[in-house]
C-alpha cells in the first residue's frame, strides 16, 4: 500500500522532474562554459559537410542534425539525404517538401554516434 | 497571411516566456502553424519551458551567421505537430543580433508559418528592440503591480515609435495580457484594478491569467501550461486569449479553480 501511495505521489509531484532536467542541463552548460560546446557542434557539422561534399553534392538543408543531451551520454544523430542513391527505388524520388523539417526520405542514410562530452 | 507577434513587457519576471509558450502551443493546437522564436540571447529559457533544452543544436545566431540553415535550427515539438521552436544562443551576446540577419530570418519564417511568436527579453535594449521590430501584433504582459504597469507603458511607447510598422506610419495591434492575477487580493481591494490598468495603458485587454501553481508545475515538467494542464484555470484563460487573438469574441472572465475532488483526481491521473 505504501509503495502504491508513493508511486501515486511520485506521479503527482513535478519538482523531481524539474531537478533532474536542471541537473542534466546545467552539467552540460557548465562544461561548455563559454563557446566550446556550441563550437564543437558547429565544427563537427562543418567538417562532416566537407567530407560529404567530397563525394556527393548535398544541400545544407538536406542534412538534419539532432542532439539529445543525456545524463551520462549524448546522442548526436546526423541524417544526410544523399541524392542519386535511389536507383533501386526509382519511384521514391519525391520532390523536396517546403516544410520546415523535411521527413526522412527513403534515400537517406543515418549516422548515429554518441557525442563526446 | 502570416502574423508576427511579439510577447513583451519591459519588466522581467512577469511571465513573457510562459505566455509565449502557452499562447504558441494553444495556437498550434487550434491547427495553426506556429514557430516560437526566443530573442533572449545569452539567457535563453524558452527551450526549457518547452521541454526542448536537451535537443538544441543550432540557434538563431547560427542561422543569422550562416552556420546553419533555418530548417536545421528549428526544433519540432514532440506533442503538437504544427509547433516549432527557434532557440536563442546561450553563449553569444546580443550584438550578434544584426538588423539584417533578424530581418532575413523573420521573412523566411513568415513564408513557412501562420504565426511567428517572438519571445522578447526583459529590458529595452537591443534584444527587446529586435524582438519587436518586425511585429504586426504585440502582447504586452503586465502584472497588476505599479512597476510592471510603468514599464509596460514605456514598451507601448517604443512599439509606437521604433518598430518597422511605426516607421512606415502604420499601427501595431497591441493587446494587454494581465498575468499573475490574484482574485483574493483583488476582492480585498489590494491589487490594481483591471479597469484602472486599462485606463492607464489604454490598449485593449486580451485576457486575465490567474496566478496558479499549474503554471509552475507545467514549467517543472517542461510543457506549456496549455498542453500540460489544458483544463486548469490559467490554461483556459490562455486558450480564451488565443481565440480573441484570432478575432473571436469571447466573454472576459477569470477562470477559477473550483473543482470537485473527482475532477481533481482524474485530471492528475491523466497528466
The region of weakest confidence among A35-39, A66-70, B79-83, B145-149 is: A35-39
**Cell digits for B231?**
483544463
Q: Answer yes or no: are the C-beta atoms of B9 and B142 closer than 8 Å.
A: yes
The region of weakest confidence among B55-59, B107-111, B264-268 is: B264-268
Predicted local confidence at residue B187, as pLDDT:
87
Average pLDDT of A93-112?
Answer: 40
Residues of A with CB under 8 A from a CB of B: 11-12, 14-15, 17-18, 21, 24-25, 29, 32, 34-35, 37-38, 41-42, 45-46, 60-61, 63-70, 98-102
Could you give the 3-state DSSP secondary structure of residue B76? strand
The CA-atom distances, in angstroms, between B270 and each of A78, B176, B228, B260, B261 are: 35, 32, 10, 16, 14
Q: What is the DSSP letter of B47?
A: H
Residue A97 banded pLDDT, cuts 50, 70, 90: very low
Give the number of other Cβ atoms within 10 Å of residue B254's Cβ. 17
Q: How far is residue B248's CA from residue B177's CA, in Å, rounded to a whole number?
A: 16
pLDDT (tens digit per residue) in B132-183: 999 999 999 999 999 999 999 999 999 999 999 999 999 999 999 999 999 8
* More reliable by pLDDT, A38 or B271: A38
pLDDT (tens digit per residue) in B36-73: 999 999 999 999 999 999 999 899 999 999 888 999 99
CA distance B175 to chain A (A): 29
B82 closest CA partner among A101, A90, A11:
A101
Q: Determine whether the interchain pair B220/A60 forms a contact, defined as Cβ–Cβ distance below 8 Å.
A: no
Average pLDDT of B11-28?
Answer: 97
Looking at the predicted complex, does its ipTM rise above 0.90?
no
pLDDT (tens digit per residue) in A45-59: 778 878 888 888 777
Average pLDDT of B116-138?
Answer: 96
Specify the pairing of strand A74-81 against strand A63-68: antiparallel
Q: Which helix (H) or strand (E) holds A114?
A: strand A108-115
B9 closest CA partner among B144, B164, B115, B113:
B144
Mean pLDDT of chain B, nearest integer: 92
Q: Determine whether the interchain pair B90/A29 forms a contact, defined as Cβ–Cβ distance below 8 Å.
A: yes
Q: Answer yes or no: are the C-beta atoms of B53 and A25 closer than 8 Å.
A: yes
pLDDT (tens digit per residue) in B75-103: 999 999 999 999 999 877 778 899 999 99
Rounded to whole angstroms, the maximal C-alpha distance in chain B is 55
Q: Determine whether the interchain pair B220/A18 forms a contact, defined as Cβ–Cβ distance below 8 Å.
A: yes
- Residue A77, pLDDT > 90, answer no
Amino acid at each position: 500500500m505504501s509503495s502504491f501511495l508513493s508511486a501515486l505521489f511520485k506521479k503527482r509531484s513535478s519538482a523531481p522532474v524539474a531537478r533532474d532536467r536542471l541537473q542534466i542541463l546545467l552539467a552540460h552548460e557548465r562544461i561548455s562554459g563559454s563557446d566550446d560546446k556550441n563550437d564543437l557542434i558547429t565544427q563537427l557539422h562543418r567538417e562532416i559537410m566537407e567530407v560529404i561534399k567530397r563525394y556527393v553534392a548535398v544541400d545544407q538543408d538536406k542534412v538534419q542534425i539532432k542532439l539529445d543531451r543525456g545524463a551520462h551520454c549524448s546522442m548526436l544523430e546526423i541524417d544526410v539525404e544523399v541524392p542519386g542513391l535511389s536507383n533501386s527505388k526509382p519511384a521514391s524520388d519525391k520532390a523536396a517538401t517546403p516544410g520546415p523539417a523535411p521527413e526522412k526520405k527513403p534515400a537517406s542514410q543515418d549516422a548515429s554516434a554518441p557525442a563526446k562530452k | 497571411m502570416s502574423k508576427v507577434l511579439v510577447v513583451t513587457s519591459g519588466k522581467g519576471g512577469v511571465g513573457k516566456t510562459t505566455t509565449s509558450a502557452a499562447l504558441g502551443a494553444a495556437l498550434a493546437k487550434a491547427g495553426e502553424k506556429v514557430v516560437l522564436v526566443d530573442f533572449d540571447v545569452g539567457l535563453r529559457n524558452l527551450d526549457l519551458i518547452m521541454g526542448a533544452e536537451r535537443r538544441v543544436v543550432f540557434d538563431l545566431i547560427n542561422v543569422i551567421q550562416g552556420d546553419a540553415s533555418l530548417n536545421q535550427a528549428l526544433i519540432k515539438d514532440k506533442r503538437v505537430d504544427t509547433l516549432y521552436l527557434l532557440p536563442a544562443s546561450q553563449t553569444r551576446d546580443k550584438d550578434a543580433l544584426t538588423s539584417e540577419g533578424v530581418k532575413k530570418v523573420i521573412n523566411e519564417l513568415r513564408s513557412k508559418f501562420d504565426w511567428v511568436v517572438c519571445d522578447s527579453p526583459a529590458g529595452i535594449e537591443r534584444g527587446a528592440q529586435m524582438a519587436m521590430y518586425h511585429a504586426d501584433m504585440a502582447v504586452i504582459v503586465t502584472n497588476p503591480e505599479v512597476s510592471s504597469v510603468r514599464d509596460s507603458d514605456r514598451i507601448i511607447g517604443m512599439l509606437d515609435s521604433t518598430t518597422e510598422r511605426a516607421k512606415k506610419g502604420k499601427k501595431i495591434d497591441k493587446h494587454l495580457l494581465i498575468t499573475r492575477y490574484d482574485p483574493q487580493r483583488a476582492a480585498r481591494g489590494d491589487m490594481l484594478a483591471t479597469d484602472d490598468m486599462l485606463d492607464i495603458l489604454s490598449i485593449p485587454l486580451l485576457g486575465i491569467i490567474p496566478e496558479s501553481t499549474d503554471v509552475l508545475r507545467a514549467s517543472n515538467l517542461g510543457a506549456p501550461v496549455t498542453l500540460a494542464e489544458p483544463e486548469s484555470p490559467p490554461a483556459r484563460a490562455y486558450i480564451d486569449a488565443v481565440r480573441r487573438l484570432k478575432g473571436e469574441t469571447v466573454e472576459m472572465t477569470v477562470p477559477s479553480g473550483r473543482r470537485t475532488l473527482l475532477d481533481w483526481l482524474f485530471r492528475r491521473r491523466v497528466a
